[in-house]
Chain A
Amino acid sequence: MNALFAVIRREITLARRIGAGAELGIVFFLILISVVPFAIGADQKLIGRIAPAILWLAALLATLLGLDRLLQADEEDGIVDHLLLGDTPLMLVLAAKALAHWLVTGLPLSLVAPLLGLMLAIEPGAMLPLTISLLIGTPALTLIGLVGASLTVSLKRGGLLLSVLVLPLSIPTLIFGATVVKEAAAGRAYETPLMLLAGVSLIMLVIAPLAAAGALRFARN
């Protein structure tokens, strides 16, 4: 247990020291949101209608972009070898790393999302569902990304490949997450997509650390 806390603490410290902490993720999120009106036009009504989609797409991209370094730095300086030899199950260590990654990307994004939702003219009633859906859904994105990161860990330019591998698998999360916000904005019940979203996150919590640990282990052999 102590080892896992140490992993989480280390990841967060590292992220902050190399300037990739929560702030940068939020800035990236903000930039993505600001670019949209330039592409679409300053039509407040249209932006308000597609705001749920924009926010969820931005969350997806913001989560994805930090992922290729999730394991690569540890692979380069040999920490992955130590983790493989250590007593703590690799699966749990990887789950802890994913949790740390989520704490510096998914969590802050979910918390500032209502503020950005305000800028995108989203319905007031959809603010809380937006935060809740991001809180429940972004862990799934991080976990799917963990699998992708462990598969591409040894590749020099794995970033693009990582996106190609990860994006198709994150479609259910995107569908359910964006639907929660859309239904809430239209004043309809949104419990069903929220539960399905939670289901996706839970399934990923089971599969992803297992698959990622397998990928890292088999990569040596």
Chain B
Amino acid sequence: METATKPSLWLRLANPAAFNTLANRLLWPLIIATVAAFAYGLYGAFMTSPADYQQGETVRIMYIHVPAAWLALFVYAGMSVSALGTLVFRHPMADVAQKAAAPLGAGFTLICLITGSFWGKPMWGTWWEWDARLTSVLILFLIYLGIIALWRAIDEPQRGARAVAILTLVGAVNLPIIKFSVDWWYTLHQPASVFRMGGPSIHKSMLTPLFAMGLAYLFLYLVLLILRMKTELMTRRLERLQIVAADKLAKSTGA
């Protein structure tokens, strides 16, 4: 039985050294992919794609705004999977991944909110509109902040990881309910004139740079995630080494 002797990739990754090896091998290709995707996407977004016949040049904010919204949700989905990894499979890398991902997700959500506000100024005439989509994203941002706050409040990483995992899963169950309730609330209080996006009827000349930017954001996220996970592993190792060093010092001085 060969399969029994060779552990799966999943299991081998539980070893920080194995994870580091794989991370180092992936890092540079991912960085190159990020740069390439951003170059192609930004060129398309600002140079080749046409201006909208209604919105003019402001439509270009879309290429920054929409991929950020995608990533905001994607990162949360990934964190939910990590939460299951922490609680069910007790995979040691799961909570490292989750801790590394939370501020990144909050960052993408913030980019989405800020660019949404910039887009709202010319379209709605105000910096902020209590629009259903913007409001849902704002609540998602608040949930991210709650998760980060809980991480920082509990100083023991093991215990903190499990508390955050439970909070993440409770949030994951609640997010569809919140999304539904906010949409419902909005249709009830909808202001008279609201700008709406063209829906799925975006022309291909705009869709291609949009997807390119989506890929660029995704690659950027992966690069930052790997870097943050490596940093988190090193921080934990450093803490352990400090404890060992303090222990040695205490013994040598006879305390």
The answer to whether B181 touches A165 (Cβ under 8 A) is no
A170-185 to B contact mask, C-beta < 8 Å, 1/0: 0110011001000000
Output the nearest chain B residue to A178 by Cβ-Cβ distance: B185
Residues in B whose Cβ lies below 8 Å from that of A207: 170, 173
Q: How large is the interface on A (under 10, 10 to 19, 20 to 34, 35 or more residues)?
A: 20 to 34
A60 to chain B, nearest CB (A): 14
B201 to chain A, nearest CB (A): 31
User: Residues of B with Cβ closer than 8 Å to A?
Assistant: 87, 139, 142-143, 145-146, 149-150, 153-154, 158-159, 162-163, 165-167, 169-171, 173-174, 177-178, 180-182, 184-185, 188
List 4 extra interface pairs beyond A179-B188, A214-B87, CB under 8 A. Answer: A158-B153, A161-B146, A168-B142, A168-B178
A123-166 to B contact mask, C-beta < 8 Å, 1/0: 00000000000000000000000010001101100100100110
Q: Report the separation of the CA atoms of residues A168 and B149 in the bound assembly, to the nearest whole angstrom.
A: 14
Output the nearest chain A residue to B180 by Cβ-Cβ distance: A172
Output the nearest chain B residue to A173 by Cβ-Cβ distance: B181
A203 on the B face (CB < 8 A): yes
The answer to whether A219 touches B181 (Cβ under 8 A) is no
The answer to whether B184 touches A218 (Cβ under 8 A) is no
Output the nearest chain A residue to B86 by Cβ-Cβ distance: A218
Q: Report the separation of the CA atoms of residues A159 and B177 in the bound assembly, to the nearest whole angstrom.
A: 25
* Closest A-B pairs by Cβ, 6 of them: A172-B181, A218-B162, A168-B142, A165-B146, A175-B181, A175-B185
A2 on the B face (CB < 8 A): no
The answer to whether A196 touches B173 (Cβ under 8 A) is no
B162 to chain A, nearest CB (A): 4
The answer to whether B171 touches A169 (Cβ under 8 A) is yes
The answer to whether B166 touches A214 (Cβ under 8 A) is yes
Q: Report the separation of the CA atoms of residues A221 and B161 in the bound assembly, to the nearest whole angstrom.
A: 12
The answer to whether A152 touches B153 (Cβ under 8 A) is yes
Residues in B whose Cβ lies below 8 Å from that of A147: 166-167, 170
A113 on the B face (CB < 8 A): no
**Can you name 5 A-B pairs with beta carbons within 8 Å?**
A151-B166, A165-B167, A175-B184, A179-B185, A200-B177
A211 on the B face (CB < 8 A): yes
Number of A-B contacts (CB under 8 A): 81
A205 on the B face (CB < 8 A): no
- Which residues of A in the span 11-33 have a Cβ within 8 Å of any Cβ on B? none
Known: A215-B163, A219-B163. A164 touches B170 (CB 8 A): no
The answer to whether B150 touches A151 (Cβ under 8 A) is yes
Partner of A169, one of B145, B174, B182: B174
Residues in B whose Cβ lies below 8 Å from that of A172: 174, 177-178, 180-181
B145 to chain A, nearest CB (A): 7
Residues in B whose Cβ lies below 8 Å from that of A154: 154, 159
The answer to whether B162 touches A211 (Cβ under 8 A) is no
Q: Report the separation of the CA atoms of residues A169 and B171 in the bound assembly, to the nearest whole angstrom.
A: 7
A8 to chain B, nearest CB (A): 24
| Centre residue among B158, B159, B169, B185 by max chain A CB count within 10 A | B185
Residues in B whose Cβ lies below 8 Å from that of A152: 150, 153
The answer to whether B166 touches A215 (Cβ under 8 A) is yes
The answer to whether B162 touches A221 (Cβ under 8 A) is yes
Q: Report the separation of the CA atoms of residues A176 and B139 in the bound assembly, to the nearest whole angstrom.
A: 16
The answer to whether B153 touches A196 (Cβ under 8 A) is no
Residues in A whose Cβ lies below 8 Å from that of B184: 175, 196
A90 to chain B, nearest CB (A): 14
A79 to chain B, nearest CB (A): 20
Partner of A168, one of B146, B150, B153: B146
